[in-house]
Amino acid sequence: MINDLIYLDNIIQRALEEDIGTGDVTTDSIIDLHATGKAVLLAKENMILAGLPLFSMVFTLLDPELLFEYIYQDGATVRAGETICRISGRLAPILKAERTALNFVQRMSGIATLTNDYIERAGRGKVKILDTRKTVPGLRALDKYAVRMGGGFNHRIGLFDGILIKDNHIAAAGSITKAVALAKANSPHTLKVEVEVETLFGVQEALESGADIILLDNMTIDAMKQAVKVINGKALVEVSGGVTLGNIPEIAEIGVDFISVGALTHSAKAVDLSLEIVKQDKV
């Protein structure tokens, strides 16, 4: 699915140009152009893998003749010490592309692993863990793909494929009711209308205005419970704001449909991965 993205090539090419620039002066000085070998991608900690197709595309862009053998695929749980894939072919492109390829897969696996942590903590109920638009500029498609690989679901991809009415829109329109009416009149009929509210009054008005989804923002557990009662299945319910690994179990029990977590993409740590040359052939 991620391979379908027409502009992935551009993202990878820019990343390679950024790192290699006018040439890898170390490798070009020392490594014989014809020298070949074999490398392995190793997990140095437990993780959910994400980004392996990009990892391979980086190397392939430099040398289409490199060969890959995959032991794991995106979405898999990999344990520390395990081999993820093997690469064989010319050494020079392997060394040149190494850092760029790792930068992709380490970040994406970090997001997938953190997403999985949130899901584990949220337990086995119906609630879906969603990402947000708090992604790294230019790499949103990759960040959101990594969330899916970790078991999460995607909220709207951008401002174009979902209506989310926030406080400023409400203030500008005059009321929730007026904002929802404007959104329904002026936007494509294929989109639902979601309204972000912070009080039970807001919940009530959103419901009456015909909102399809109600987003409870930064509410207390008690307020959220009341909101769910009031809504009573007449709209989908999403929770956001201040969600942590610590409080997500309690939130998940309330019975909402979605919990969205900005940290999945804006504060994930890179997982520890290592590319090791295991064999250098004689030239």
Q: DSSP characters for 136-182?
A: -TT-HHHHHHHHHHTT-B---SSTTS-EEE-HHHHHHHSSHHHHHHH
Residue 70 vs 153, nearer CB to a copy of itself: 153
Q: Is 194 a residue of the active site? A: no
Distances, alpha carbon 101 to alpha carbons 24, 123, 150, 250, 275, in Å:
15, 33, 20, 38, 10
- Identify the residue among 8, 61, 76, 230 touching a copy of itself (CB under 8 A): 61
Binding mask 131-160 for a copy of itself (x = CB under 8 A): --xxxxxxxxx-----------xxxxxxxx
Q: Report the residue from 52, 129, 203, 213 that binds a copy of itself according to the rule CB under 8 A.
A: 213
Identify whether 143 is a catalytic site residue. no
Closest CA to 250 of 133, 135, 138, 123: 123
Subset of residues 240 to 269 that bind a copy of itself, contact rule: CB under 8 A: 257-258, 262-263, 266-267, 269
Residues 74-103 touching a copy of itself, rule: CB under 8 A, are 91-93, 95-96, 99-100, 102-103
Write out the binding residues for a copy of itself, residues 15-44 only, by CB under 8 A.
15-33, 35
Among 121, 134, 178, 184, which one carries the catalytic annotation?
Answer: 134
Active site residue 117: no
Phi, psi of 13 (to 5 degrees): -65, -45
Token pair belonging to 68: 């890959």
Among 56, 88, 106, 209, binds a copy of itself (CB under 8 A): 106
- Tokens found for residue 3: 């391979």
Catalytic pick from 63, 82, 86, 99? 99
Question: Which of the residues 166, 178, 184, 192 is marked catalytic?
Answer: 166
Q: Give 25's contacts (C-beta < 8 A, 6+ positions apart).
A: none
Nearest approach in angstroms of CB 92 to a copy of itself is 8
CB-side neighbour CA atoms (13 Å) of 239 = 29
Catalytic center residues = 99, 134, 166, 196, 217
